[in-house]
Each structure stands twice: as structure tokens, then as C-alpha cells.
Amino acid sequence: MTDEPLPDLGVRPATSTSGYARGSSLPSHIGDPIVKIEGLHKYFGSNHVLRGLDLEVRQREAVMIIGRSGSGKTTLLRCINFLEEPSAGTIEVDGVRLEADPLHSRSRAFQERVRQIRLRAGMLFQEFNLFPHMSVLGNCIEAPTRVLGLPQDKAVERAEYYLEVVGLGEKRDEYPSRLSGGQKQRVAIARALCMEPKVLLFDEPTSALDPELIGEVLRVMEDLAHAGTTMIVVTHEMHFAREAADRVVFMESGVVIEQGPPEQVLDNPKHAETTHFLRRFLDQ
Amino acid sequence: MSYASGGGAHAQSQGMVDHSIVGQITAAQNAARLRFRLTFVAVWIAIIVGIGVALAAANAWDWEFALESGPVIVLQGAGITVLISVASIVGATILAILGALGRISTNPILYAIASFYVSLIRGTPLIAQIYIIYFALPQLDIVIPAIPAGILALSLNYGAYMTEIFRAGIQAVPRGQREAAGALGMRQAHIMRRIVLPQAVRIVTPAIGNEFIAMLKDSALLSTISVHETLFLAQRLGRSSFEPITALLIAAIVYWILTIVFSIFQERLEKRMARSDR
């Protein structure tokens, strides 16, 4: 499948996977590559959603993925930790490298590799997906105690720390049903942070929220970005992307069309598709 | 801003409503509700009195027998009925969880076993299952005393029906729950045990309540293998003293009251769970 030539869509994938021009120096806080995606393809039935996508994300980098719906943004994010199984291609997260192998992916060994990737990549969902039968604290210590094997008191200490980070320390004993949408998403962020992953994946984290609750979540995310958390964010919040992104990636038809610093991609896009998308998006 | 001014206008218009009209409407609604309830109670009392009068006229109800044998039927019989039902619902729940895990398993062997169990049990009469366990197995030198045999039969039977309830309950837990747990690095067994099953149990609790109430009544079938439960005692005492009407009516009332009591209990439980979900 990797060898299949790309259908001619009149678009050309970006040549550099890092998104930074060769020779130009990286922003000083950004480190070595920690997520590498190579030749990623995903089919849903005969629907070719990702078409040989390459992307590299570096340590302490905040990458925002934009693009119209159906361009494959969410699928890309879900393929990184195998919530969606890639049809072909290679994913590497923090040195754990896994080549897509749909025919043998049910094997124990493969599933264990998937789990190793998931332990390194925390995921945030549109619908938060807190566990409704557990308190906020329960949500935050379940995986650290039972997956990482952290002692209870250490896990609680860690959970309390990260709940403070998202500004919800006083909610530790509440149940999710008593929280607002914004608070739920912040708890979900704390829950992910409690696993101390190498990278956070955000799948449109504010699109299920009432408009007045979006700000509190974006603020937390912006703080995390500025504190050097590696993150990949699928978002429609252009203003937020401009403020918090080290790099903006524009996707279309399952490939990366254009990427670079936000002021470049958002203000001076080089490709007609990007211009077109941004114009239509800002008109709404 | 626009919301605030809109709210103000709304509050103002509300202030202009004539409060005496609101009061009159509420009072009329309360009166109608009270009338409905009183009528309901009156009709029930009328029916019960009517049955009582008919029984007295036919000289069918024997107070002497009722006072002498009634307590045995109520205390011993109802006790055994409840005991058997509780034990069987526990057994059935365990079988149902195992069955449901089989029915959603991608392992063909587990799926086949669970499907066979559900098909066989749902495709045969409960009374036949009771007879096979109590009367047929001894021919193979497997002898099970009446009460354990009865509990086994009811557990197996209800477990098969409840398998489908649990399967539906497990599948009703949103997929995002599994995805979130998987994304945190939990393994499949952990996800099922700690994330999916606890939520599925909440979803199916009302249905388990219904099954329990149905089981209270189906346990009467165990009278055929001489388990000393409510119907068995009523039949035996009624036959020996030639008072079958009084005896069997007492048994019927016992079942009726038990189901009413457990229905109320179930309603409370459901309300409490709904509250904790909010």
C-alpha cells in the first residue's frame, strides 16, 4: 500500500517533515524529534483517508493541526496511539517504533507494543470520556496505580498536583456528573498528565463545549504549551493556534499540505489550498 | 450583554402575571390529583371487599384454617421462597456476566459455548429443566437435594435470559469509555473489570430487579420437586385439611405482597442510583 502512487489531487505534500526550513535554526526550547510518523495510510473500507502522511514532532513542541472536516486530522491523531489502526506506515513515539501490520495486529506482542506507545502518548477526547463511576481523584489514580504500579499515596500526591495545575484541586472528591464541560475536560487533562506521558494528543478538545467554557480549557492548554509540554492538537480555534503553537500543520485530503510557524501558515500561507481554507474558515 | 437585557425583559413580563390565577390553577391541579388517587384507592377496596363478600357467601374462606396454617405458609414458605430467589438471582447474575462476556468475545470457542447455553436454556421449558436436574440426573448417580437442585435450575434458566440483558448493558457503555481506558494503557481485562462492567451493572440494575420479581413467582414451580416453599406448603396443608381455597389464596397473597414489597424496594434503589448519576 505504501508503494501506491498518490492520486493527482493537484496538491503536493510538504517536502520537509519537520516543518522548519533547512538551515534555519529551531526555536531554542525545542528538542529532538520524539514522534515520527512515516508513510501513514488509513483506509476505512475503500475510503482512503490518510494518503502516505509524514510528520515529525519534537520535544517541547506544540503542533496544531488544522484543516477542513474530512481532511483526516482526527484519524491521524487516533492512528498515533492506534485507537484507529493504520493500514500502512510507521509510528514512533519516544523510541517505541511500530509498523502497521493489520493482518497480525491481534497478536499479544503487537498489542503490547501498542500499549507501550499509549503509555507515552496521553489522549484527550472531544467528549472528555471521564469514568462516570469514579470520583475525580479515582479517575486520576486508576491508571497510575493499576497500570504503572504506583503506590496509592504516591498516585494521590501526583493526582493532587496535576489537579492543581488544571485549577481543580478542590474538586478531587466530586463525581464527573457534577462538573461543567470545561471542568470535565480539565480533569481529563489532569488524568492524562498523571501518567506523565511524553506527548499529549488533543482531539478537538473544545468542540463539545459551550462557548463560554472554551476559554478555561484553552488557557490550561496554553499554559502547558508554554511550560514545554509536547503536544499535538487538532483544533478549529485559530486564535488559540496563533497564541500557543510552535508550528501549525495544514492538512488536506490525508496529507500535510503546508506547515510552519503560525504567523507564516496563518498569515502568509504559501499554498492556494491553505489560503482557501483560511478564507472560508474566517468568513464563517 | 444581549442575554442579560433579554432576561430582564422576561422577568418584567413575568411580574405582570396575575398571581391569583397561578394560585387557582395550582389548587385545581392538586384537587384533580387528589381526586384521582382517592378514586384509585376506593376501587381497589371495592374489588377486595367484593371478593371477600363472594367468598363469605360461598362459605369458601375458613378463618380457623387461615389462623392455624396461615402463619406456617407465610413464615416458613415465604422465607424459603425469598431465600431461594436471592440465592438464584446471585447465581444467575454470575452466569449472566460470564455468558455476556462469551457472547461479546471474539474467541469463537467462548462465543459458541455462550451461544449454545443461551439457545438451549431459552429453547426449553423451565419445568423441564427442573425435572431433568432433580429427576433425571439421579439416573446417572448425580443426586442433588431439592433446594440446591431448585437453585441450580433457576440460576441456569435466569442466567441465560440475563446473559442477553448483560450483553446489551455492556454494549450500552459508550465506546469512548473503552478508548479512554485503552489510551491510558489499561489492558483489555482491566478495562472490562474496572471500567465497563461497573457501568454495565448500573445500566442493567432495573432489569435485574424485574428478573428477581419474575423469579419470586417462578420459584413456585419448585413445589413440584417438593421444595418446602410457599405454594408447596399451601398445597399440602390445604389438601390434608380439605381447605384448598383458603390455602391457595394465602399462597397467592404471599407472592403478591412479596412482589409489591420488592417493587417498592427496586423503585427506591433506581431513584437513588439516578440521583448519584446526576
User: Could you read off the pLDDT of B213-245 as tens digits, one per residue?
Assistant: 999 999 999 999 988 899 999 888 888 888 888
DSSP track, A7-63: P--S----S-SS-S-TTSPPPTT--SEEEEEEEEEEEETTEEEEEEEEEEEETT-EE
Q: Indicate whether B64 belongs to any domain.
A: no
% residues pLDDT > 90 (chain A): 81
pLDDT reading at B182 higher than 80: yes
**Mutate which of B1, B177, B179, B184 to disrupt the A interface (most A C-beta within 10 Å)?**
B184
- Which residues pair with residue A42 across a beta bridge? A50
Chain A closest-CA separation from residue B2 CA (Å): 14
**Mutate which of A116, A146, A185 to disrupt the B interface (most B C-beta within 10 Å)?**
A146
Same domain, B94 and B46: no
Same domain, B108 and B204: yes
User: Could you read off the pLDDT of A220-247 as tens digits, one per residue?
Assistant: 999 999 999 999 999 999 999 999 999 9
Same domain, B170 and B200: yes
User: Could you read off the pLDDT of B236-276 as tens digits, one per residue?
Assistant: 888 888 888 888 999 999 999 999 999 999 888 888 877 65
Q: How many domains does chain B have?
A: 2
Bin A92: left if φ > 0, else alpha if -120 < ψ < 50, else beta.
beta
Q: Indicate whether B120 belongs to any domain.
A: yes
Q: Give the domains, in start order, of chain A with CATH numbers.
A: 33-283 (3.40.50.300)
Identify the domain containing residue B255 by its residue range. 69-277
Are A129 and B176 an interchain contact pair (Cβ–Cβ within 8 Å)?
yes
User: Could you read off the pLDDT of A181-223 as tens digits, one per residue?
Assistant: 999 999 999 999 999 999 999 999 999 999 999 999 999 999 9
In chain A, which residues touch B (CB < 8 A)? 81, 83, 115, 118-119, 121-123, 125, 127, 129-133, 142-143, 146-148, 175, 177-178, 188, 191-192, 195
Q: Indicate whether B56 belongs to any domain.
A: no
Give the pLDDT confidence score for residue A189 in this predicted structure: 97
Question: What is the CB-side half-sphere exposure of residue B9 using CA atoms within 13 A?
Answer: 6
Q: What is the CATH number of the domain that holds B231?
A: 1.10.3720.10
Give the pLDDT confidence score for residue A27 in this predicted structure: 75
Which amino acid is located at A202 in the chain? F
User: Could you read off the pLDDT of B38-75 as tens digits, one per residue?
Assistant: 999 999 999 999 998 998 888 888 888 888 888 888 88
Q: Indicate whether B29 belongs to any domain.
A: yes
User: Could you read off the pLDDT of B133-179 as tens digits, one per residue?
Assistant: 999 999 999 999 999 999 999 999 999 999 999 999 999 999 999 99
Q: Indicate whether B198 belongs to any domain.
A: yes
Same domain, B164 and B257: yes
The H or E element spanning position A250 is strand A247-252
Same domain, B46 and B159: no
Which of helix, strand or coil describes residue A132? coil
Q: Give the nearest partner residue to B184 out of A127, A132, A147, using CB atoms.
A: A147
Which of helix, strand or coil describes residue A232? strand
Q: Indicate whether B261 belongs to any domain.
A: yes
What is each CA distance from A31 to A117, A131, A199, A265, in whole angstroms?
Answer: 20, 34, 13, 22
Same domain, B134 and B268: yes
Below-70 pLDDT ranges, chain A = 1-25, 283-284
Residue reference for cell 484507529: A84
For residue B184, give every residue at least 6 positions away whose Cβ sits within 8 Å of its Cβ, in sequence order, or none. A118, A122, A142, A143, A147, A191, A192, A195
Give the pLDDT confidence score for residue A224 in this predicted structure: 94
Of A253, A255, A232, A252, the residue nearest A244 (C-alpha):
A232
Q: Are B216 and B228 in contact (CB under 8 A)?
A: no
Same domain, B46 and B76: no
